[in-house]
């Protein structure tokens, strides 16, 4: 509508825009003459010019992200919701995912790998915020193979240059025991099997620390160690009705999976405990086995530092044991009870038993399964340079004779 400079009725120049029932009108302020009226309805063409918020700017923001990225972000968010992670973890994981997907290493990989990439971002975010989440948990949620998850995780770590802190064993123990169903009475758990959560946690933590001091944790998957330690802690807190319960039944009652190496870790822990029990003075008269030693775990853990020193030889091993009795009798001053105790009684006691102290080493060194590596070949009499002449006779052994070739051809191997 073109605004008129003057009112046609009175010639006044004071014209105002007024809205009457949402209809724009140009009215003369002097005489009230309506010079022009707006349209009550607008056409699409008019709206196109009057829009304040463009469609693409309002709901179209997500259209700027590719479909793959949107799906991946949604998957990361769903994973964070299932794991009940705080919002900051989700933001971190989403930012890692967006950064990773822009890199050539992840842009053209398969959909399966992109889904694992989202899981890896969540896993890395949890580890950076000290949230104990294991790879096994993430793989089970994504129905993924652990080998593929591992390769994507290592690639993500390398490409983005992320620093991923180590998994804290103490946090893992706390989280793992939180999922146990032995702390509340249920229909499937007998009353003698119920246990107080705090006591179970404290004892399990002590057994896990003992395991880490005795080389049972280094280089091993942490969950089987924690499971075996929790089982021993649970049995030791009330041995009477619980000694007859095997590890598999314990895991079923607790509602957790039984990892296959847990039996081996349990056996190793019991071996360590039996070694320590042999040094506890009030247990020396008893013949303990792997069932009865469980009753004394509390005492063993209370004195574990001293018992470990007495029961196992440290790094110097056998040499120290052979020389110690001789030195102890000649040189140890009688006023030093600690020295006498260390060099006198334990060695004498051990010598009476007729055995030497077991060295405190990783179990794979004590019970080697592999054949020993063959000795390094001696240096050849004539050092190779790589450019020696090659005779035809040496090459003939790698070629088939014509008769053999005819026989293979006849057999039509391909």
Partner 1 sequence: MDADSDVALDILITNVVCVFRTRCHLNLRKIALEGANVIYKRDVGKVLMKLRKPRITATIWSSGKVICTGATSEEEAKFGARRLARSLQKLGFQVIFTDFKVVNVLAVCNMPFEIRLPEFTTNNRPHASYEPELHPAVCYRIKSLRATLQIFSTGSITVTG
As a whole number of Å, the CA-based R_g of the chain is 39
Site for partner 1 in 201-260 (CB under 8 A): 212, 215, 217-222
Instruction: Output 67 or 371, the one with its CB closest to partner 1.
Output: 371
Task: Give the shortest CB-170-to-partner 1 separation in angstroms.
Answer: 12
Q: Is 265 in the site for partner 1 (CB under 8 A)?
A: no
Closest to 304 in 3D by CA, of 203, 206, 200, 205:
206
Q: Is 261 in the site for partner 1 (CB under 8 A)?
A: no
The tokens 């081996």 sit on which residue? 264
| Distance in angstroms (rounded) separating the CA atoms of residues 121 and 157 | 10
| String marking each residue 364-383 x if it binds partner 1 according to CB under 8 A | xx-------x--xx-----x
| Binding window for partner 1 (CB under 8 A); candidates: 54-62, 148-156, 304-312, 341-349 | 148-156
80 backbone dihedrals φ, ψ, rounded to 5°: -65, -35
Determine the 3-state secondary structure of 210 from DSSP: helix
Spell out the alpha helix ranges (H) of 167-303.
169-178, 197-213, 222-237, 239-242, 247-254, 262-277, 297-302
| Distance in angstroms (rounded) separating the CA atoms of residues 142 and 116 | 7
Instruction: Output 223 or 297, the one with its CB closest to partner 1.
Output: 223
Site for partner 1 in 293-332 (CB under 8 A): 315
Q: What angle do CA 84, 88, 91 make, to 5 degrees?
A: 100
| Binding window for partner 1 (CB under 8 A); candidates: 87-95, 227-235, 347-355, 391-399 | 391-399
Q: Is 405 in the site for partner 1 (CB under 8 A)?
A: yes
| Distance in angstroms (rounded) separating the CA atoms of residues 114 and 91 | 18
Instruction: Output 157 or 356, the one with its CB closest to partner 1.
Output: 157
DSSP secondary structure, 311-355, as one string: HEE-TTTHHHHHHHHHHHHHH--TT-HHHHHHHTHHHHHHHHHT-
| Distance in angstroms (rounded) separating the CA atoms of residues 176 and 184 | 16
Q: Is 387 in the site for partner 1 (CB under 8 A)?
A: yes
Residue 207 burial (CB count, 10 A):
26
Instruction: Output 2 or 383, the one with its CB closest to partner 1.
Output: 383
Q: Is 384 in the site for partner 1 (CB under 8 A)?
A: yes
Quick one: which of 65, 109, 167, 306 contacts partner 1 (CB under 8 A)?
Answer: 167
Q: Is 19 in the site for partner 1 (CB under 8 A)?
A: no
Quick one: which of 98, 105, 136, 356 contacts partner 1 (CB under 8 A)?
Answer: 136
Closest to 200 in 3D by CA, of 226, 222, 220, 221:
226
Instruction: Output 104 or 380, the one with its CB closest to partner 1.
Output: 380
Quick one: which of 319, 354, 395, 403 contacts partner 1 (CB under 8 A)?
Answer: 395
Query: Total residues contacting partner 1 (rule CB under 8 A)?
Result: 47
Task: Give the shortest CB-331-to-partner 1 separation in angstroms.
Answer: 20
Residues that bind partner 1 (CB under 8 A): 134-136, 150, 153-154, 157, 163-164, 166-167, 212, 215, 217-222, 315, 361-362, 364-365, 373, 376-377, 383-388, 390, 392, 394-400, 405, 408-409, 413-414
């Amino acid at each position: 509508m073109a605004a008129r400079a003057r009112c046609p009725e009175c010639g006044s120049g004071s014209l105002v825009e007024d809205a009457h029932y949402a209809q724009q009108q140009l009215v003369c302020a002097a005489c009230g003459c309506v010079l022009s009226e707006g349209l009550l309805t607008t056409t699409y063409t008019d709206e196109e010019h009057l829009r304040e918020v463009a469609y693409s700017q309002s709901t179209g923001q997500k259209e700027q992200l590719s479909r793959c990225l949107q799906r991946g972000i949604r998957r990361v968010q769903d994973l964070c919701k299932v794991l009940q992670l705080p919002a900051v973890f989700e933001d971190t994981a989403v930012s890692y995912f967006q950064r990773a997907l822009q890199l050539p290493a992840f842009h053209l990989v398969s959909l399966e790998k992109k889904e694992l990439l989202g899981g890896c971002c969540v896993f890395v975010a949890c580890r950076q915020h000290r949230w104990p989440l294991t790879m096994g948990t993430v793989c089970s949620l994504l129905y993924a193979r652990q080998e593929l998850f591992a390769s994507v995780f290592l690639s993500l770590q390398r490409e983005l240059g992320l620093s991923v802190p180590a998994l804290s064993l103490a946090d893992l123990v706390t989280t793992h025991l939180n999922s146990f169903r032995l702390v509340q009475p249920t229909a499937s758990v007998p009353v003698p099997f119920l246990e107080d959560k705090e006591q179970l946690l404290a004892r399990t933590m002590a057994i896990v620390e003992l395991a880490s001091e005795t080389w049972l944790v280094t280089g091993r998957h942490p969950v089987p160690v924690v499971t075996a330690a929790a089982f021993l802690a649970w049995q030791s807190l009330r041995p009477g009705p619980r000694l007859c319960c095997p590890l598999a039944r314990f895991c079923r009652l607790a509602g957790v999976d039984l990892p296959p190496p847990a039996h081996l870790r349990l056996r190793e822990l019991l071996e360590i405990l039996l070694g320590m029990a042999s040094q506890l003075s009030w247990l020396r008269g008893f013949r303990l086995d792997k069932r009865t030693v469980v009753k004394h775990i509390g005492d063993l853990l209370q004195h574990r530092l001293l018992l470990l020193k007495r029961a196992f030889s440290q790094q110097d091993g056998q040499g120290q044991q052979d020389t110690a009795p001789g030195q102890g009798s000649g040189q140890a001053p009688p006023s030093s009870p600690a020295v006498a105790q260390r060099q006198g009684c334990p060695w004498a006691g051990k010598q009476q038993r007729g055995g030497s102290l077991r060295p405190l080493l990783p179990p794979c060194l004590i019970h080697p399964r592999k054949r020993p590596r063959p000795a390094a070949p001696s240096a050849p009499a004539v050092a190779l340079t790589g450019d020696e002449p090659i005779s035809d006779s040496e090459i003939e052994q790698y070629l088939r004779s014509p008769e053999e070739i005819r026989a293979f051809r006849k057999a039509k191997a391909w």
